[in-house]
Structures are given as structure tokens and as C-alpha cells.
Amino acid sequence: MASLARGAGPARGGGSRLPRVPARRMLEILQATYPEARTALDFRTPFELLVATILSAQCTDRLVNTVTPGLFAAYPDAARMAAASPEDLEPLINRCGLYRNKAKHLAAAARALVLRHGGAVPRTMAELLDLPGVGRKTANCVLANAFAVPGIAVDTHVFRVANRLGLASGATPAQVEAQLQRRCPRRAWADLHHQLIWHGRLVCHARRPDCGGCPLRHLCPEGRRRLREAPAEPGARGPARRRAGPAGTA
Ligand code: SF4
């Protein structure tokens, strides 16, 4: 039976007061700037997405996409992967960071899928969180991208950009997830997740965000602070519609 102890319910911890920012206008700008944002992971089935998402921890999506074709050729579904040992999987994924741990998780998750779900990927947060190697981020990714269940997976980009914009003020991914859910309409969650990731990859970099070229700079508390401290050059770039860039630029 699926456990609730690991946070299977709605994200918690978003109860603190949020900064007053024009969230709706920010979402409109993100939507206009990244209309095609989607997951950069290649997958054909929910099982492939689950595996790819587990592999993507501390690893770029681009690298994962070079690894998964070989892995899925050998182990195309949960039943086949469940018969494999971690040592069988390791040579196929050893270009990913933490590959030994990931091989253990993949083998164990595949066995759990076969034993508990007839080889299918479950469609609920609780059941996904009960699989080895699956946390809220992975579960939200699978739910949103494989089953169109609204969710906001909080990775390093979402965490950073949401906090800078003042859409969240959380110290943990779970807090940021809960705050974004509170602040943004449910229908926007899945797109917002991708848009914040692309914005973090393309503009709002961790070390040197391009605030002068950011379409949100007039609304963003962090951007206004940075631009005040380092005034923009004359002729700084204005807002631009950005296409989702190459995969795996994290
Ligand atoms: S203005 Fe700067 S800090 Fe704010 S979202 Fe844009 S790039 Fe990030």
C-alpha cells in the first residue's frame, strides 16, 4: 500500500507570507516568451519517462537522451528491466553521474512496477513516491508529462527562478512547490514548470542572470535590485520571444 509518510499528498510547507508581485502578469510573460517549452527528455512511454527522469538527477537532459536509446533497446519495459541486476544496467548508463545508485534504483523500481502495478507506471503521487529512486520532482515530472496531471516539479532552475521572481520564498523545494501551487492557477502548473526551467537555462542563470535582457526585469524584485546596483548599458536588449533551446543545457 502506498505510503503517505513521504509527502504523497499536496506539497506542504508553503504557508509563509509571499512577496507581493504581479504573479498573473509574470505568468503571461513567461507563456508569451516560452510558448513551446516542454520537457527536454526523449521518451515514448510512461515507463521510458520514469527511467529517463530517474537518470536525469544531477545529469543534463542532453546526456540522458544519449544514454536512453541503448538502455531501452535492451530493456524496453518494466518486465524486461525487472529481470536485470544493477550490474547488468551499469554499463549502459555509466556516463550518467551516480550511475551505480541509479542502476540500483532502476532495477528495484522496475521490480516494484511489475509486482505492484502489473508492469505499468502508476498515475498517483502516492504510488509513484513508493517506488525506489522516486521523489516529488520525479513523480511530478511523470504525472505532468506522461499523464497530463497538473504538477510543478521543483528542480534547481524552478527553485532559483521562482524565488528570484518572488513567486515563492521557500527554503526547500517542497515549500516552493506548495507556494507556486497556491499562487498559480492549477491549469498553469505544468507549463509554468517548463517555462521556469527554460528561463533559468536561457536567461536567469545561477551565477550571472541576464537581467538586462530579461522580459520580466520590470516586475522582478531581484532583477530590479541587480539592475539598480549595475545600471543597464544604453541600448540594453528588450524582451524577446525565446524558443526552447537545445536540450540538456542545465
Ligand atoms: S530580472 Fe534577472 S533575476 Fe529576475 S527573472 Fe529576470 S534574469 Fe532572473
**23-37+151-229 maps to which CATH number?**
1.10.1670.10
pTM: 0.80
pLDDT tens-place string over residues 180-224: 999 999 999 989 999 999 999 999 999 999 999 999 999 999 999
Task: List the chain domain ranges.
Answer: 23-37+151-229, 46-147
List ligand 1's pocket residues with C-beta within 6 A.
Answer: 161, 164-165, 203-204, 209-211, 214, 216-217, 220, 222-223
Q: What angle do CA 5, 7, 8 make, to 5 degrees?
A: 95
**Amino acid at the residue 139:** A
CA 108 centroid distance within chain:
22
Assess contact for 126 and 3: CB atoms under 8 A.
yes
Closest residue to atom 3 of ligand 1, CA basis: 223
3-state secondary structure of 179: helix
**46-147 maps to which CATH number?**
1.10.340.30
What is the reported pLDDT for 117?
A: 98
Q: How far is the CA of 194 from the centre of ligand 1 (A)?
A: 16
pLDDT tens-place string over residues 40-77: 999 999 999 999 999 999 899 999 999 999 999 999 99
35: left (phi > 0), else alpha (psi -120 to 50), else beta? Answer: alpha
| Alpha carbon distance 11, 131 (integer Å) | 18
C-alpha cell at 39: 520537457
Arithmetic mean of pLDDT over the chain: 88
